[in-house]
Structures are given as C-alpha cells and as structure tokens.
Structure 1
Amino acid sequence: MDFEDVLKEISPLAIENVKSHLRNQRLRFEESNIHTITFWDDCYPELLKEISDPPPVLFCLGDRSVLKGRKFAIVGTRKSTPYGEKIAYKFAKELSREFVIVSGMAFGIDAKAHLGAMETGKTIAVLASGVDIPSPRGNRSLYNKISKNGCVLSVYPLGEGATRYRFPERNSLIAGLSSGVLVVQAPMKSGALITANWALDFGRDVFAIPGDIGKYSNEGTNWLIKNGAIPVTSPSDIAIYYGLGVSESTNVESEVLELIRGGVDTVDDLLEITGKSIGEILSEISRLEMMGIISNDAGHLRLL
C-alpha cells in the first residue's frame, strides 16, 4: 500500500480531528504566550546557529525578541555561599545593561543571576524540561517573573519533565546562546564546569571569579583560572573585554584603555597624560594584560 492508498484509508472525520487538535494546540500556545521557533525563523539566535549541532526547534515562553539580543551567561553551583550569591547578583545587574543574561534557573548562583539581571534588563532561563514545567518547581515564583521579564527557553516539548540526563544538553544550550560564560562559584563536580567546557568547545569566552584557596565551593572556579579562564573581579572587566560601556566607577581603567587604543604606547606617557599614580596605572595595565587585551613589554604597550 503506497502513501496515496494510506490517505484514502483515513476517514474525513479522522483528518478533521487531527486539524482540530492542531488548532487547539496552537490556541493553547498563543494563550500561554508560548512560541515555537525553528532554525529558519528570524528570532532564532544567530550564535546558536554556529555550533556543530544546533537544535532545529526551540520552545519559548515569554518575550521571544530577547533571543535576538547580545547574550552572556552567568552560572554556578546550587550550593552557593551568601558571598557567591551577592557576586552573581551584582555582575548580572551591571552586565544586563549591555547583555541579555542567560542562566539555568537552578537554586543558588543561577537564581541570583536572573534576579540581578531583571533589576536593569532582561534574562533567559534555559530549562531541562518543557517550558510549561518550572524546573526546579521550588523556583516557580522566579519562573513567573522571568516569563514576564525575558523568556523561558527549552528544546523539550511541552509536558516533558526534567531528568538528570537532560542537564548536560541544557548546559550546552546556555553556552551556545552566549558570547561568553562567567562561572561565579563552583566545586569540581559542578554542572557549571560542564557549561564552561561547552563554551570552550564552541569557541566562546570563559571567565571565572577567583575564590579562597582550599574552599570547596571555589575549587572549580580556581581550577578554570589555572587552566586558562579569564579571571575577573568586576563587571567592568567583562564590559571592557567586549569593548562596551560600563556603569561602575572605573574611570582609570577606561581612560588607560582608551589612551592605548588612541596610540599611547608607554607607561611613562600614560603617567604624564593622566596624572595618575604609578600604582594606579600599573594595576590597570596588569588587569588588562590578564584579560588578554594588551601586552606590556618592559613598559611598551600594545593592543592584542
């Protein structure tokens, strides 16, 4: 029996039932502000198209236009310290002026990153479940806020619950969406390190917050820095790395970088032009060196 014969066997009533079901599904999506986004749609994220195996379909709850913005991920452990949560909130709040902040809506660092981002901008929560199922369920209030101040995103159809095997794929989506990934606080077995690994595989930038030596919650971030992640201590470090404006008080750092970009190429000239102390100038030069923005060869500076 060929395909045409199969079609003849299907009753008009069955066909109408299928059409009715599809109409109802579409209506349900529209009423719930859920969107299906395919690889060919205008709002499909451009960076995600660059990875080796981009998902053909995304499900989005909320404002799909945020998917077109420049995105940056902030992730970390669920078992965070108050200090780590404070840092995540601060970085997200400042960076969301320039980026849409992406995270995984988990307890701990992720939750604080979303909350900080919504103070000044938009955020995207990437789930290991369908977008109609808050994951974890204990973050339902956060889920509701994000759906109104950004979007909840997933590759899984409605009704699909989260399983442990889906979190690595969720982490790859976080990295694939983003220009860079900041790991705020993470032990060695944290899923945040999986996200950082995906970011490296995709050719994205990886940043990490330095932490106390020997402290369990910082072992992963310190390991990342030892293995090439960019250490950052201020949101402006990341903003400057991408050549963006900053809202913090970072006048010395901004002035030094702008002068080097303008052709000033010695420490002596920077001291003369800025009137700053040698300590201030050398501190900012060291920071820009660590970030891979400039090189300093015996006082002679150049952009990389």
Structure 2
Amino acid sequence: MSLPADAVARLRLIRTDSIGPVTYRQLVARFGSAEAALHALPDLARRGNRPLHLCASDVAEAELATAVRLGATLLFIGTPDYPPLLARTETAPPVLFAHGDTALLDRPAVAIVGARNASAAGSRFARQLAIDLGEADFVVVSGLARGIDAAAHVAALDRGTIAVVAGGIDVPYPPDHADLMAKIAATGLVVAEQAPGIEPQARHFPRRNRIIAGLAAGTIVVEGAPKSGSLITARIAAELGREVMAVPGSPLDPRAQGCNLLIREGATLIQGAADVLEALHTLSGQPALPLHVSESMPAPALVAEPDARRAVIALLSPTPVQVDELVRQSGLPAAQVATVLLDLELEGALARHAGGRVALS
C-alpha cells in the first residue's frame, strides 16, 4: 500500500473531534499540511475557549496497521489516487478505505440504486441494465443493499462494480451479503469511509449515499419509495450537477412512486441502457456532462481580520445560508469569509449544513 509520507498526521486530523470533511480541507489549505494544522489547532481552540481532543498518534498508527492487515488501500483526498469525480464534491470524505481493484476508479461510472424489497421485474431490469452498461465500459456503483443494489452488483461482477459500504471495510452489511462483498473485493472494489471494524449506524447511510452519488457520472433509480435512501442518493446527485435517471413504474406499486416523482421533477426517464448512454452524452466511453461543482475551495487566509469577522457574523443567523451568499453580501474575498467561518466552526459557534450552507449553532 502506497501512502503519503504524512499519512499518520492526515489520519490524526481526520479523526480529531469536530473536524469534518469541509473543515479538514480548509485547515490543510490554510496551514499547508495536516501536520501544520495539528500544531495550530490547540491555539485555535483556546481562542474559542473550546476543549479540543486531538487524535493520538498511536490511534492513527493502529488504524493504518489494521488497514494493511486487511489488504485495504487508504485513499487520501488531495493525492493522485483519490477518485477525481468524488474529489470535486464539497463534502468528499478526507480518506477512503478501498479493497480490491482501485483501477476501477479511473473508469466512467454509473450508480444503480433502488428498493430493498425489489420486485422480480425490478431486479431483472437492474441486472440487464448493469450488464449492458458494463458492455459499454461503465463501472456500476451501488450500496451492497438487498434488492436492486445486489442485483446490479451481481450482474456487473465480470465487467466492473464498486460497492460503497456504510460501515468499515471489513464489516459486511447486511450480514447475509458477506459472500457478495468478498466476491466484489476479489473482482471489483469495495469502498468505505468508516474505519475498519465500525458497525454501520443509521447516520452512516446518508453519508454512504453521498459517496455513491459522488463517484458516478449519473445515478439511476430503478425502484424506490419517495422517502427512501435511493431518493436521497438521487437528490444528492442532482445537487452535484450529475445526471439523475429513473425507471417509471405503475402508480399502483408503492415501489414506483419515488421513481415517478423523480421523473415528474425532471429526472430522465430510462427504459434501457441506450437511454442512459444518451443522457450522459457519452463520447468514446467518457461521460461528457458538465459538473457544476468547483474543483477546489478557496484557501482560507491565515488570519481573519476583525472587521471581516464582524461583517460575516452580522450576516449569520440560526437559519442556514449559502456561503456564496455571505461572500456576495459581505463584499469580502472568499478566502477571508472561509477563514471567519473556519474560526467560528472551531469555536463551536457555527454548524455546516447540506448544500454548502452554514448557520449559527
């Protein structure tokens, strides 16, 4: 496993309490490295009169050793091996654990997701769709769940599939998919954000869904209820500017309600792989779709000017607001706004919300 020289420092920063994906990237941008950020954090926390418990070196070293023992590769954001499409998303995980063929991350990918209690017809459609997309050189991404996810993975085993799991890289979920997970690790790729050994919890599944959507050029929902995890994945994909596609179904089938709702809201109606390829505007096997997500965040300034701090705080409230709106209304450089928000977050005064929004906590 090839790791950056500062892998332990990166992992320590990632595992430090209150350091989320956005904060991690901004700290590294502000101080130049994870090591420098770790040195600066205690002082930043003292200024905010907030307790801070840095992850200990031996804890990070043990996590790395476990990954090596499991045969997993650690992919840190900002390194060449990190999935490029995922890196372009604001909340991309600072580190991913990958078990299997990481070369699949270099190929164009499409997510196929859907109901756990899938119908026989839905599962059959998902299988055929995965086979046809594989023949078109697309990797199939899904979440290893029962139903549509499993059907898509199984059909794509020979052509390339990526399973994004909610728990650790060594924790099959559901447990009865342990054999399928092992097969994917042997011929495809299993990806996890959580540390090895972590059992999946309810809060982990939406986080897994954002990875599924972030890895793929487009997301296809085969069956799903209006409030299902599949619809969450589709809405995340839409927020990222990725293509959202759905398979229509009978209005009498509750499993089709989510798909029909997506189509009504503007998702592309899919009846086969040809519709997917047309929606993604494929050119020589590469998706040529516009991605409306900036590739990098503004590097925060080293120090927040007092006037800038007052101006930004005056615009904040408990109601979430877009960071871009704060930049526009304050008239300040984006780097200064980013610095103020980072300081407020480390002080425990700011909460980050989905869609690049922030609010006073």
TM-score, length basis structure 2:
0.60
2:263 aligns to what SS in structure 1?
helix
CA distance in 2, matches of 1:209, 1:83: 11
Percent identity of the aligned residues? 36
Of structures 1 and 2, the larger Rg is shown by 1
- 8 Å Cα contact 2:222/2:246 also seen in 1: yes
Counterpart of 2:216, as a letter, is S
- Are 1:113 and 2:149 counterparts? no
- Pairing of 1:42-81 with structure 2 (within 5 A): 42-81=80-119
Aligned partners of 1:33 and 1:61 also within 8 Å? yes
User: What is the distance in 2 between the residues matched to 1:216 and 1:156?
Assistant: 32
> Which letter does structure 2 place at the counterpart of 1:174?
I
What are the ranges of 5 or more consecutive residues in structure 1 without an aligned counterpart?
4-17, 247-304
**Structure 1 residues 51, 19: CA separation in 2 closer, same or farther (over 3 Å shift)?**
closer
1:181 is the counterpart of 2:219: yes
Structure 1 residues 197-276: aligned runs within 5 Å = 197-244=235-282
Cα gap change, 1:107/1:61 in structure 2, threshold over 3 Å: closer, same or farther?
same
CA distance in 2, matches of 1:167, 1:140: 18
Counterpart CA distance in 2 for 1:210 and 1:110 is 17
Distance in 2 between residues matched to 1:154 and 1:141, nearest whole Å: 17
SS in 1 for 2:157: helix
Aligned positions, number: 228
2:234 match: 196
Deviations, residues 147-173 of structure 1 (Å, cap 9, x unaligned): 011111111101111011111111111
Alpha-carbon RMSD across the aligned residues, in angstroms, is 2.1
- 2:124 is aligned with 1:86: yes
- 1:21 CA drift (Å): 9.3
Does residue 198 of structure 2 align to residue 152 of structure 1? Answer: no
Letter in 1 for 2:146: F
Asked whether the equivalents of residues 239 and 245 of structure 1 are also in contact (C-alpha less than 8 Å), the reply is no
Q: Is 1:37 the equivalent of 2:58? A: no
- Name the amino acid aligned to 1:241: A
Aligned to 1:95: 133
Unaligned runs of 5+ in 2: 1-38, 40-56, 285-361
Preserved contact between residue 63 and residue 151 of structure 1 (Cα < 8 Å): yes
- Give the TM-score, by structure 1 length: 0.71
Read off the aligned partner of 1:81 and give its amino acid letter.
S
Alignment partners' CA distance in 2, 1:234 and 1:137: 31
Letter paired with 2:143: G
Alignment partners' CA distance in 2, 1:208 and 1:21: 41
Letter in 1 for 2:92: P
- In the alignment, what sits opposite 1:273? none
Partner-residue secondary structure (3-state), 1:60: strand
How far apart are the structure 2 equivalents of 1:45 and 1:245?
20
